[in-house]
Structure 1
Amino acid sequence: MIDVTAVFDIGKTNKKFFLFDSDFKEVYKEYTKFDEIEDEDGHPTENLKALQDWLKNVFKNILKASEYNVKAINFSTYGASFVHLDENGEVLTPLYNYTKPIDKEIIDGFIEKYGPKESFLKTTGCFDLSLLNSGLQLYWIKYTKPEIFKKIKYSLHLPQYLSYIFTGIALSEYTSIGCHTALWDYIKKDYHEWVYKEELHKILPTIVSTETSINMNYNGKRIKIGVGIHDSSSALLPYIRSVKKKFVLISTGTWSIALNPFTDHPIIEDTQDKDSINYMRINGKPVKATRLFLGNEYKIQVSKLDKHFGVSEDYHRHVKFDYDTYFEIIHDFEHMFKWESIVDPDMPEKTKIPYDKFEDAYHQLMTELVMLQIKSIKTVVGNDDIKRLYVDGGFSDNDLFIKLLSHNFRNMKLRTTDSSLGSALGAAVSISDSKLNSKFLKKNYALKKHVPFIIT
C-alpha cells in the first residue's frame, strides 16, 4: 500500500478528487459534474446534497481500496460561498450563488451605516459590494430572512464546511476570510468593526491557521483532516514554498488573476479600480491581486473569428507566433476589437477585421489582449522590485500569449508551469510537514523557461 494524501478540489463546474503520494505526485484522480439546482428565488445554485453524498461515497470507496493508505485529507474550493448550520448541524439555506443579485436598498443601507464606500472598500480589499462579498450575504440574510438568521449557529465558508462534514468541528481560516468577503479589516488585521456591531462574530467560528489539521479516527482509520483552503490562495502556496525569490504569479483561465504576495503596499488606493482585489496567504498576510476577464473575452472573440473565416473551433490552438506578422501589426498599430466582457478606454466603437487570413486577425487579437494583461501585471507589481513572472493555467501553452508577454517583460524571467493540479496540490502541501525545495516546480509542474525573441 502507498501512503497518500487525499484532496477534494471543488470548482463551480468540475468536482475533482485526487490522491498524491509522499512526493506530491498524482497517483489517482476522479472527476464529476452536477447539474445546478435553484434556490427559493429560482437562481441557479450548487446542489449541496449531491456534493455531500459524492464526497462521502468517494472517500468511503478509497478507504476500502487495498492499494492506498490514506494518511490525510484536505479540501480546496471556490470562495464567496457560505453554508449556514443550525444547532444540530443541519443546513439552513441553499448555497447562495455569488452571482445572485441582491436588493440595492440592502447595499445602500449597509453603506449608510458603515460607509463611506471608498474607505470601506479600501480597508476590506474589496472592489464592489454584492454577494461576491460573502460578508454581505450574512447582512442580507439578517435583514431579509430574520427567522432563518436567528437559527444560525455557525456560518462556514465552503472549504471549511467540507472539512466539517468529516470532522463535525466548525472552524474558520484566513484564506477564505481574506477572499473579497468584506469581513476583514486589512489595516487592523482583524474582523472589520461592522462585523462586531452586527454581532456576526458570534456565528463565525474560531479562526485557525490554514495549516491546521485534526487527527481523527474516521471509519476505524487514523486520518489527519485539514480545515480546507480557498482555491486561489491554494494555487499560490506551492510557489511560495518552493521559490525563494520574489515573483508574481499569473493564474490564467476564465479570469486571469495576477497575484503579488510580496508587496509592502497590498491595498490599492484607487477605489474606482474594480479589478484590484485582495487575497490572503495561509499565515494571514495580504496578497495584492488584479483580475482580468481574459479567458472569457478570448472565447467570445475567437468564436467570432472562427465564423468570420470559416475555420474549425480548435483551429486557433495550432496558430504559432509569427515575428513578421506581429511587427506589421505594431508598426502602425491601432485597436480593432470591441470587447464584450471587458471595459477598456482604448477599444473602438465596433470591431473591424481588415485581414484576409485567420492567422493575421488572431495575432491582432492576441496583441490587444496581451496589452490588457500587461496593464494588469504592471498594476500588481507597482514599485516592487520583482524580476520573476510565473504563468499557469489555460494560457500557459498559448504560444502567442507567452512570446508577447516575454517580449514585453524582457527585464524579467518568465516561466510557465503546467499546474492543472494547482489548487489541489496546494491543499495537499498546506497540511504536509514536507519542506519543498527549488526543484519542486520542475518535478511536479513541468516548469519551462522562456527567452524573449530577438528583435532585428
Structure 2
Amino acid sequence: MPIPVTAIFDIGKTNKKFFLFDHDLGQQHREYHKLPTVTDDDGFECDDLPALTHWIRDTVARIITDGKYTLQYLNFSTYGATLVHLDADGHPVTPLYNYLKPIPDAIVREFFRRYPEAENNTETASPSLGMLNAGLQLYWLKKSKPAVFARIRHTLHFPQYLSYLFTGVLASEPTSIGCHTRLWDYTHGRYHRWLVEEELDHLFPATVHTTHTSQVTLHGQPVTVGVGIHDSSSALAAYMLRAQDPFALISTGTWSITLNPFTREPLTADELRCDCLNYMTIFGAPVKASRLFLGHELDHQLNRLNTLFGKDPHYYKQVDLNPALVQLDAPETNTFYPETLNNPTLVQDLFPRDQWSPAGYSTFEEAYHQVIWGLVRLQVASVRLALGNSPIRKVYLDGGFVGNDIFLKLLQQLLPTYTLEVSQRPLGSAQGAALIVRSQDHTPAIA
C-alpha cells in the first residue's frame, strides 16, 4: 500500500535537501543533493538555477511514478535574499544572483543619497547588507543593466519561484518579503515608498498568506502545492504552531539566526549596527532577529585545523568536551578570532585583538576547543541581542549545530538562566514547511 507523504524541498545555500514526511511528520525518505555552482554574467559564483530546477522536477516525477508513495502535499523552504526575475513568457531573465555578490559602491551611494541610510535602515528594519537587501538587486539591475532590466515583467522570491514551477501561480509571500530585503516598511506595514518611487513595486505579484495552497495535477496525481517559505521563518513556524509559552529560536546552519517573535520593541540604531534586523512571521508580524555566519566560520576553521593537524574532515565529530581546555569564567584566555563573520561590531566587542594562531596549539583538540568556545561566546551575544528586554526564558535550538555536543554543552553553561531545548530532529525548516502546507488555507491575496 503506497504511503501518503508530504514532500519538502529544503534548499539551503550549502545543502540542497529533499524530504518525505508521513502524517505524523515522521521522516520516510531524504536526499542530500550536491549541486556544483556556476558563474553569473559578471563571473561571480552562483547556484545553477536550471540544474536545480531539473533536479526538483525529476525528483517529484520519480516519487510520484515509482509507486511506493502517494504524494499529497508539496512545499518549498529556501534561503532568502534571493530573487528570480521572469520575462513576458515566464522564463528567468537573469542567473540566480548570489546574495554575497557585491553591489558597486557607486550604486549604493546613489541609493542612499536618494533614501538616507539611517532612516531607511530603521524603517525597513534592515542593516546595510548589500545584495542581502534583496530589494537593492532590482535597483542595481535598473541602474547597471538597463537592457536586462527592461525584459523583467515579474519578480519572485526564491521559494515562490519553486512553487511557481509546479503551479504557474505568480505570488509574493510575507516571510520572503520581510527578511532584511529593504522592501517592507515596518512602520507603516506596506512596501516602502522607495520601491514605489523607483516604479519597482509593480514587479512583485500580489501577496498571499504563507499557508496559501494550489491544487494541481502532477503526472496524473492530484497534489496540494504550497506557496513556499523563507527557511529561517519556516523553522520558527514549526515552533509557533505548537509551542504554548513565549520562546526564542536559534536556527543554525550556514547562518545561525536567533529569532524572537515575542517582542514589539522597534530596532535601535545600535542594534542595526550589530546586524539585528526584522524577519516576519507567517502571520505578518515582525520578528526581532540577530544573525551570525556561524556555520560558515566553523567550516572555514575546520578546513584550517584539518590541514594543520592532518585530520579527516569528520574527525571533529569524535572530539568530546574536555573542561580543562576552556575557562568559561576567564574569556580573555580564549585566543580564537573569527575570520569570516559578517558582524564586525560584535566581533570587536568580544575579541579586542586578532591573536588567533591555531599552529600555536599542539593538538587538534586544543585548537578546536578554542574555536567552539569562541563561537559559543558569539552565539550568546547574538541571543542577548535578539532577546533585548523580552521576558523569555525558553530557547529552542535546531539545525546543523544540534549534532555538535561541545557547542551545546558550552552554550548551556553560558546561558544558565535559560532553559535550552534542543531539537532531536534537526529538520525545523523542512518540518515547518510541511506543517504549513497541510494547514489547507485557501485564503485569497491580501495585497
Q: TM-score, normalised by structure 1?
A: 0.88
Alpha-carbon spacing, 1:432–1:91, altered in 2? closer, same or farther (3 Å): same
**In structure 2, what is the equivalent of residue 399 of structure 1?**
405
Q: Whose radius of gyration is greater, 1 or 2?
A: 1
Structure 2: tracts of 5 or more residues without a match: 441-447
Match of 2:386 among 377, 380, 388: 380
* 1:377 Cα deviation from its structure 2 partner: 0.9
**In structure 2, what is the equivalent of residue 341 of structure 1?**
340
Residue type matched to 1:407 in 2? Q
**In structure 2, what is the equivalent of residue 256 of structure 1?**
256
**In structure 1, what is the equivalent of residue 167 of structure 2?**
167
**In structure 2, what is the equivalent of residue 445 of structure 1?**
none
8 Å CA contact retained: 2:326, 2:334: no
Whole-angstrom CA distance in 2 between matches of 1:332 and 1:425: 37
Alpha-carbon spacing, 1:268–1:431, altered in 2? closer, same or farther (3 Å): farther
Whole-angstrom CA distance in 2 between matches of 1:352 and 1:93: 42
Matched, 1:418 2:419: no
Alpha-carbon spacing, 1:349–1:33, altered in 2? closer, same or farther (3 Å): closer
8 Å CA contact retained: 1:82, 1:158: yes
8 Å CA contact retained: 1:255, 1:296: yes
| 1:75 match: secondary structure | strand
**In structure 2, what is the equivalent of residue 439 of structure 1?**
none
* 1:332 Cα deviation from its structure 2 partner: 8.5
Whole-angstrom CA distance in 2 between matches of 1:137 and 1:95: 11
Whole-angstrom CA distance in 2 between matches of 1:8 and 1:62: 13
Which 4+ stretches in 1 moved above 6 angstroms?
none
Matched, 1:89 2:63: no
* 1:157 Cα deviation from its structure 2 partner: 0.8
8 Å CA contact retained: 1:335, 1:347: no
**In structure 1, what is the equivalent of residue 436 of structure 2?**
430
| 2:377 match: secondary structure | helix
8 Å CA contact retained: 2:246, 2:392: yes
* 1:173 Cα deviation from its structure 2 partner: 0.3
**In structure 2, what is the equivalent of residue 350 of structure 1?**
355
8 Å CA contact retained: 1:4, 1:70: yes
* 1:271 Cα deviation from its structure 2 partner: 5.8
| Mapping of residues 235-254 of structure 1, within 5 Å | 235-254=235-254
Whole-angstrom CA distance in 2 between matches of 1:64 and 1:310: 46
| Mapping of residues 256-335 of structure 1, within 5 Å | 256-265=256-265, 267-270=267-270, 273-306=273-306, 313-327=313-327, 330=329, 333-335=332-334
Of residues 232-241 and 392-401 in structure 1, the stretch that sits farther from structure 2 once superposed is 392-401
* 1:229 Cα deviation from its structure 2 partner: 0.6
Structure 1: tracts of 5 or more residues without a match: 435-456
| 1:172 match: secondary structure | coil
Whole-angstrom CA distance in 2 between matches of 1:110 and 1:81: 19
Whole-angstrom CA distance in 1 between matches of 2:268 and 2:209: 25
Aligned residues with identical type, % of pairs: 44
Whole-angstrom CA distance in 1 between matches of 2:180 and 2:272: 15
* 1:398 Cα deviation from its structure 2 partner: 2.5
Residue type matched to 2:338 in 1? W
8 Å CA contact retained: 2:131, 2:137: yes
Alpha-carbon spacing, 1:381–1:54, altered in 2? closer, same or farther (3 Å): same
8 Å CA contact retained: 2:271, 2:385: no
| 1:131 match: secondary structure | helix
| Mapping of residues 12-23 of structure 1, within 5 Å | 12-23=13-24
RMSD value, Cα: 2.3
8 Å CA contact retained: 2:238, 2:429: no
* 1:194 Cα deviation from its structure 2 partner: 0.8
| 1:148 match: secondary structure | helix
Whole-angstrom CA distance in 1 between matches of 2:249 and 2:337: 28
What's the CA shift string for 1:334-366, capped at 9, x where partnerless?
A: 342233224423343422577655544444443
**In structure 2, what is the equivalent of residue 389 of structure 1?**
395
* 1:305 Cα deviation from its structure 2 partner: 4.5
Q: How many residues align?
A: 432
What's the CA shift string for 1:125-146, capped at 9, x where partnerless?
A: 2111411111101111112222
* 1:164 Cα deviation from its structure 2 partner: 0.9
Residue type matched to 1:402 in 2? L
Higher relative contact order (CA 8 A, sep 6+): 2
**In structure 2, what is the equivalent of residue 444 of structure 1?**
none
**In structure 1, what is the equivalent of residue 443 of structure 2?**
none
Q: TM-score, normalised by structure 2?
A: 0.90
Alpha-carbon spacing, 1:352–1:69, altered in 2? closer, same or farther (3 Å): closer
